[in-house]
Amino acid sequence: MPTSPTVRPLTPATVWLARGRRTGGAAEETLRRSLQQRKDSQDIDDFVELPADETAPSERVFEARWRVDDAVTVRARLSLTPGPGDGQEWLLVAEAEQPWREAWPSPAGLFWPEEPDTAWVQDAATGLSLREINPLPQDDKETRRLLRNAVRGGWHIHVVVHEAMTTDDRGRVPLARWLPPGLRHRVVEHRAAPQQHRGLNWALRDLGVQVPRGGAVVLPGTPAPEGYDAPDFSVRAVFLDGSEPTDLVDAVKRFAALPRPLPDGAEAALTALREDWHLLTLQEELERQRGLVAMYAEALEAMTKSRDLYREAAERAHEALAAYQESAGAAPAREEPSGAPAASPLQQLTRTLERFRSRRPAATAQDAGSADVEQVRSEP
């Protein structure tokens, strides 16, 4: 009997998510230096690195908080884990007090340094750039495998652009340059050469989309978000002349606004952000302590009520026992039944043997006396 797939919860409107890979070592030191610079320039309010004994042995966690629009607080948590080779994978979840606006700064751009350090701007699943153009492989089968693996997990928005003709430097402007800050580290741009159009559409058959010649499409991902319709996110023509691709940017924005399931592994990260937050202000710490005091008071009150109920139950039990004992002492003694119960055959045999043993010495003495009398009579 087939089982229904597990339905993943949707990404809250207040949450920003990204996942990537950083090549090279010293990622922790890079984050410390970058966050300190952000704090000194007042781009963020504060940050903290959690002690290693409070996280998994192979995981390092950084927390940061800042304000957007002068009043909305954003809390963010970035975790580092070992990746392939000498690299490390990072996972970032941020949550604002209001629904997220793509005009707000990218949380990844506040944790990591800006250019020229681009070692961290890589998709964790494919190793492709999150900010530059990624040419598709020349082999159609490799292209199919790449795109199928790229959309799995649902972490990033993948866009495929087909070049109608070979472009010059003006046509090599990455799409990320035209995106709002909140989308620049969430989009992977794939670029197909003019001769790859037929093979590209063959590779995209499994995803149910097609790329118009000289156009682009936003891939649905796996699973596709609710409300995704391929024609609505397909752009018929993208002019690669250095001008802003308005239609494509609009398609990416509309796709980002769709309700999307939480990516693989994001639910645990979001729970850790909400329930294991360390970077508290004085006011938040005071409110937290007040909450703990209220919780302890409720627990103490419940224990006191339980103790009183137990004591009352014990007193009633003692009273009931005393009343029973008094009623038992005042009642007349119960007469034993006149007829004794019949003994079992074994009991009768035992009693017979006991009587035989008690009579045997007397019988022996009587026999001895009779023998003496006979002896006297027989003497002359």
The tens digit of pLDDT for each residue in 225-236 reads: 888 999 999 999
* Residues 125 and 188 sit within 8 Å (Cβ to Cβ): no
- 103-to-44, 52, 82, 107, 177 alpha-carbon distances in Å: 16, 34, 32, 12, 14
- Separation of alpha carbons 254 and 201, rounded Å: 23
Tell me what pLDDT residue 1 has: 40
Per-residue model confidence (pLDDT) at position 2: 39
pLDDT of residue 310: 82
User: What pLDDT, on the 0 to 100 scale, is given for residue 305?
Assistant: 80
Residues of the chain scoring pLDDT < 50: 1-4, 362-365, 368-369, 371-380
pLDDT value at residue 346? 56
Task: Please name the helix (run of DSSP H) or strand (run of DSSP E) that holds residue 234, with its range, or none.
Answer: strand 234-235
Please name which of 266, 222, 227, 260 lies closest in space to residue 11, comparing C-alpha atoms: 260
The pLDDT tens digits for 4-32 are 456 778 999 999 999 999 988 788 999 99
Q: For position 174, what pLDDT does the model report?
A: 94
Alpha-carbon dihedral sign for residues 18, 19, 23, 27: positive
Residue 380's pLDDT is 44
Positive or negative, the Cα torsion across 323, 326, 331, 336? positive
The pLDDT value given to residue 354: 66
